[in-house]
Structure 1
Amino acid sequence: MKTIVHIPNVNARESLKDKEREVNEILHGLGEWKGLDPATGFHLVQARDGRTLKVADLVDDSDPARRSRVLTALKDPAQKNNRDHVDIIIALGMAKEGFDWIWCEHALTIGYRSSLTEIVQIIGRATRDAEGKERSRFTNLIAEPAAEQAAVAEAVNDMLKAISASLLMEQVLAPRYEFTPKNIGPKEGFDYGAEGYKDGGHNIGVNTDTGQIHVEINGLVTPQSPEATRICKEDLNEVVTSFLQDKTALERGLFDKENTLPEELTQLRMGKIVRERYPDLSDTDQEAIRQHAIAAMNITQQAKLALAQADANGGAGDGTVQGNTALLDGVRKFVNVRDLDIDLIDRINPFDAAYAVLAKAMDEKSLRQVQASIAAKKVSIPEDDARELAKRALQFKNERGRLPDINSADAWEKRMAEGVTALARYRAQAKAAQAQGKSGNG
């Protein structure tokens, strides 16, 4: 594949601390070095299959004249549409020197990049449209925490950030959703398939002009204000970005699944993020934004899982669906087997698909080491979470006519009851401290 390789920063755990050696090892791995092209400054490497690969080295800055020649060759407008002009580019920082390589199919980045913006730009290099290019790939190689290590916190931290970036890019590259409550009728400009829109059916509409997907959800809260409506239509990715960068959500959702209810992520963590981002909006608007953001994230992830399962079973995931239609096919598989309800969506862990990939990529011993490291940090219910659980408990009481039961078999009902108890304890402690303060002043 036409590839940009980003070698690690010298301070990264993955670095050999010698950038020239790293470039030489990459060239050696590709094949036998045959010299430099005098016109472009590209390395010429004969691969084992006999091809001569052209490799642009943007790491070596010891010879300014040669580096300038390489950059000039990469920027040459006459070569922009020539797929065979260069095969591989090796860079240290983000390759941002002004050239636009539309043929890039693979961004291979070694070591986590601390800036999410930089990762988005790196991936953007591989997502340019070019004739005959049907897909692109982003690979981030990071140090796997060794199971023998006593301290794995730093490696785990990098892993969480890399997963966060990967999930974010899936969300950014996904089509925009148009979510509505159930049975409001077809939306203008959307195609609902050969049978059209069906009242009471599992309707999926596609706007071929905009790429939007219309999905109906039972119990979905509709935004009331123009600003909340705008956010639900245009800014959901910003909300999802904040959620994916929430370390607590990532840790609990990925590596403490046994002890973390999905609602703690979808309702508590996402609810807190929305309230902090949009404090001036009403409770109804905040809940509408929360629901829309979780729906966008969970439907994208479940669509991925549906496609992966179809591939595993030798079903419709046989490679016949490609490009932009792949995610739509996964959404249809997910939605067609169930009547979508916001309560159902809230009961799905948003990191299920990521965990499925991770469990295959890591050996069981290392995975358990990471899980143990994160589970060890388990804390009691924080006061903010207790307050939010108490609010959810009040909503539960309004709907069911009773408070949540701490002995309930339903885990979420039990958690809400625990939140009410915890909040009562926090308030009692505050009251006692206040009384003690008055007594001391007396």
Structure 2
Amino acid sequence: MTKGVPSVSVTYARNGSSTKSNELGMRPMQERAYEKRGEQYLLIKSPPASGKSRALMFVALDKLANQGLKQAIIVVPEKSIGSSFHDEPLSKFGFWADWTVEPNWNLCNAPGSEGGKVNAVKTFLDSDDKVLVCTHATFRFAVDKFGVEAFDDRLIAVDEFHHVSANPDNKLGAHLAALITRNKVHVVAMTGSYFRGDAEPVLMPHDEARFETVTYTYYEQLNGYKYLKQLDIGYFFYSGPYADDILKVLDPVEKTIIHIPSVNSRESTRDKHREVEHIIDELGDWQGSDPATGFQLVKIADGRVLRIADLVDDDPSKRDRVSAALKDPAQKDNRDHVDIIIALGMAKEGFDWVWCEHALTVGYRASLTEIVQIIGRATRDAPGKTLARFTNLIAEPDASEEAVTEAVNDTLKAIAASLLMEQVLAPRFNFSPKKPDSGPVEGFDYGVGGYDPDQCNIGFNEDSGQFQIEIKGLAEPKSKEAERDLSGGPERGHRRLRAEQADYRARALRRGTRTRGADPGPHG
């Protein structure tokens, strides 16, 4: 039996603003990034599905054509995300150039060993071609082998930037710091979650200060959609094998990504293949597999046949065929191409399936970053899609088990992540001191009576989701960092602080070391 625990439900205006394009074919976030295209170091903080990949294309093309850079190297965390940077006919929508990547320079699609791909990077650097796409791992090995100076006068674009860490043991972070110190490259960093679950800073303060930041919030993104209006985030307890209860939270009518638990987690049966088979058995009668795509065909009670993509199968030939079918550009706009995707470590960050309505995750997740990324799989706008859901199915604590304390603490962590997610989804607050010469800010609504010059005022911009709040006696910020925290502070300040505190406390609870009055963590 499943039992619900506190959930979050957020409803948006659905005004269509975030999906409208300007005369160059840019959506609002992309236009905002393009306005900063002249910056040497650019950090784009924008939620999943907001168009970061295309924003990078616009910026990179300008840097190659107008800013004197030789080449652009796009670095992604895993091979599947390389498909986000396939050719795009940008001129069709008003831009002055098209985005083109020669097939041999998308190393995410290249066969062979990592060593061969590293040597291919050097061949690219010595060529006259303009764009290369590779994984974080390939890039790390290439810098190790050829040195940072080999990348001079080039754009390095790092997707899913939260993989970088200021910790010296993080090779990608160390290489990036060396490139910034040498100061002969341009860097565009992109992420939907500028924080890490391990509380390590992404960049050292002196490196971070060199980046110009473009921020586009979840509020702006979802409020400006054309179709999607509501996002629900829920947690549910279950008892017994999770596959026995999964249909109590899984609606076969909804397009769903199911992430089964890690084989090392408490929720796992230690047999991931049997878990997938069990889920399929619960859904209906297996009808075989599609020879073209490798999708499993399952007939459910109402007579429909579901197409299920199994990304858990370890057989490379089977999984590669399924993965290729999911990335088939010809099926991008086909809602009926696939109904359910079952994955373990795949189909998280950067995975693009606009029709996904429900992200169902089994087992607690220790990282808020991972939760944000999984939720992002369902928050893409698509025709007929008005509701998106994230559901976390968690083992119900059993007082007879020795692991009861750990189970309760894990559940509290999940609930805390839910509350944190509500903060991520909230509007932005900008604080300013009330002065004699203060006046209304253009674009902000100050209510029925309008702006009152004799009072502290609160204005709201519905399109951007920003509040402008005047406070009498508020001290002027003394540093750029303080100014940034007062202007949309949740993005850089308390959100990351809350995330780090939550992770710290959860780890302490799991270790059983925290007692009342104990040190609350490095930021407490």
Tell me the TM-score normalised to structure 1 length. Answer: 0.52
Distance 1:98 1:186, change over 3 A: closer
Quote the Cα distance in structure 1 between the aligned partners of 2:424 and 2:349.
24
The equivalent residue for 1:197 is 451
Equivalent residues of 1:56, 1:86 under 8 A apart = yes
The equivalent residue for 1:287 is none
Deviations 1:117-158 (A, max 9, x none): 332222221122223333322122222322445653322332
Deviations 1:248-267 (A, max 9, x none): 9968xxx9xxxxxxxxxxxx
**Structure 2 counterpart SS, 1:246:** helix
Distance 1:220 1:88, change over 3 A: farther
From 235, 246, 268, the counterpart of 2:501:
246
Q: By how many angstroms is 1:74 displaced? A: 0.5
The equivalent residue for 2:263 is 10
Quote the Cα distance in structure 2 between the aligned partners of 1:181 and 1:375.
43
Q: By how many angstroms is 1:60 displaced? A: 1.0
Quote the Cα distance in structure 2 between the aligned partners of 1:114 and 1:214.
34
Q: Where does 1:19-98 land on structure 2 (aligned, <5 Å)?
A: 19-62=272-315, 64-96=316-348
Deviations 1:184-240 (A, max 9, x none): 543222123454335678955332443323345677555333321112325523432
Q: By how many angstroms is 1:168 displaced? A: 2.9
Equivalent residues of 1:160, 1:250 under 8 A apart = no
The equivalent residue for 1:319 is none
Q: Where does 1:241-320 land on structure 2 (aligned, <5 Å)?
A: 241-247=496-502
From 363, 367, 372, the counterpart of 1:120:
372
- For 2:340, give the aligned amino acid: I
Structure whose residues are more often strand by fraction: 2
Q: By how many angstroms is 1:100 displaced? A: 1.2
Distance 1:201 1:138, change over 3 A: farther
Equivalent residues of 1:107, 1:138 under 8 A apart = yes
Equivalent residues of 2:429, 2:489 under 8 A apart = no
From 479, 485, 502, the counterpart of 1:231:
485
Distance 1:221 1:81, change over 3 A: farther
Q: Where does 1:39-438 land on structure 2 (aligned, <5 Å)?
A: 39-62=292-315, 64-96=316-348, 99-149=351-401, 152-180=404-432, 185-193=439-447, 195-198=449-452, 204-216=458-470, 222-238=476-492, 239-247=494-502, 377-379=515-517
- For 1:87, give the aligned amino acid: D
Equivalent residues of 1:74, 1:99 under 8 A apart = no
Equivalent residues of 2:349, 2:374 under 8 A apart = no
Quote the Cα distance in structure 2 between the aligned partners of 1:173 and 1:381.
29
Quote the Cα distance in structure 2 between the aligned partners of 1:69 and 1:213.
48
**Structure 1 counterpart SS, 2:288:** strand
Equivalent residues of 2:311, 2:346 under 8 A apart = no
Distance 1:39 1:168, change over 3 A: same
Deviations 1:87-117 (A, max 9, x none): 1100011415975101112111111233433
Quote the Cα distance in structure 2 between the aligned partners of 1:380 and 1:157.
16
- For 1:246, give the aligned amino acid: Q
**Structure 1 counterpart SS, 2:336:** coil
Quote the Cα distance in structure 2 between the aligned partners of 1:142 and 1:112.
6
Q: By how many angstroms is 1:52 displaced? A: 1.8
The equivalent residue for 2:105 is none
Equivalent residues of 1:5, 1:91 under 8 A apart = yes
| Greater length-normalized contact order (CA 8 Å, ≥ 6 residues apart) | 2
Moved more, 87-96 or 7-16: 87-96
Quote the Cα distance in structure 2 between the aligned partners of 1:379 and 1:35.
59
Query: Structure 1 vs Structure 2: percent identity of aligned residues?
Result: 61
Quote the Cα distance in structure 2 between the aligned partners of 1:243 and 1:381.
15
Deviations 1:20-39 (A, max 9, x none): 11111111222222221222
Quote the Cα distance in structure 1 between the aligned partners of 2:259 and 2:467.
35
- For 2:381, give the aligned amino acid: D
The structure whose Rg is larger is 1
- The alignment yields a C-alpha RMSD, in angstroms, of 3.6
Quote the Cα distance in structure 2 between the aligned partners of 1:97 and 1:247.
22
Distance 1:99 1:148, change over 3 A: closer
Equivalent residues of 1:55, 1:87 under 8 A apart = yes
Q: By how many angstroms is 1:69 displaced? A: 1.7
**Structure 2 counterpart SS, 1:189:** coil
Equivalent residues of 1:75, 1:98 under 8 A apart = no
Quote the Cα distance in structure 2 between the aligned partners of 1:243 and 1:226.
21
Q: By how many angstroms is 1:245 displaced? A: 3.4
Q: By how many angstroms is 1:244 displaced? A: 3.6
Distance 1:193 1:45, change over 3 A: farther
**Structure 1 counterpart SS, 2:395:** coil
Structure whose residues are more often helix by fraction: 1
Quote the Cα distance in structure 2 between the aligned partners of 1:248 and 1:43.
38
Distance 1:202 1:250, change over 3 A: farther
Equivalent residues of 2:420, 2:498 under 8 A apart = no
Quote the Cα distance in structure 2 between the aligned partners of 1:23 and 1:173.
32
Equivalent residues of 1:43, 1:55 under 8 A apart = yes
Give unmatched runs, 5+ long, in structure 2.
1-253
Give unmatched runs, 5+ long, in structure 1.
256-369, 389-442
Count of residue correspondences: 265
Equivalent residues of 2:416, 2:502 under 8 A apart = no
